[in-house]
Amino acid sequence: MQREDAAQLHQFVLHAALDIVQDLAWTTSAMFLKAIDRFNDLVVSVYVTAGHTRFMLLHDSRNEDGIKSFFQEVHELYIKILLNPLYLPGSRITSSHFDTKVRALARKYL
């Protein structure tokens, strides 16, 4: 029960932070937006791409450089997925290879 609640809470916090990202994205031309929202001891960090695709990370530690590098590498992977003409921009990414690579990056940087 505890774990289920936690997962739903995480999703809720991330979605609630989306509004903040919308406004913040127009104030700067940088892609990495650092920590934009806090909830108890959890922090939401966001990276916005040129096409306004948002990478959001919910975490508890404070490792800004690691998180920035993580986002940059995920961005490159995302561009490679996007260049596939058969991928509809904005749809779910179903590649298991992509999943494996992102998890490996997470282990490396976070």
Partner 1 sequence: MIGVGKIKQYSNILEKPLSKGKQEVSLSAFAFLFSELVQYNQTRVDNIAELERRLEDAGYAVGARVLELLCHRDKGNRRETRLLGILSFVHSTVWKVLFGKVADSLEKGTEHEDEYMISEKDLLVNKYISIPKDMGTFNCGAFVAGIVRGVLDGAGFPAVVTAHFVPMEGLQRPRTTILIKFAEEVLQREARLG
Q: Answer yes or no whether residue 95 interacts with partner 1 by CB under 8 A.
A: yes
**Site mask for partner 1 (CB under 8 A), range 21-50, x = bound:** ----xxxxxxx----------------xxx
Q: Which is nearer to partner 1, 42 or 82 (CB)?
A: 82
Q: Which tokens go with 91? A: 């749809």
First and final CA of the chain: distance in angstroms? 27
Residues 56-85 that bind partner 1 (CB under 8 A): 72, 75-85
**Could you tell me where the DSSP H helices lie in the chain?**
2-25, 64-82, 96-109
Q: Which is nearer to partner 1, 3 or 97 (CB)?
A: 97
Sheet strands side by side (includes 42-48) = 32-39, 42-48, 54-59
Q: Which is nearer to partner 1, 13 or 78 (CB)?
A: 78
Size of the site for partner 1 (CB under 8 A): 30
Phi, psi (rounded to 5 degrees) for 75: -60, -45
Nearest by Cα to 67 from 35, 26, 29: 35
Residues forming the site for partner 1 (CB under 8 A): 25-31, 48-53, 72, 75-85, 89, 95, 97-98, 101
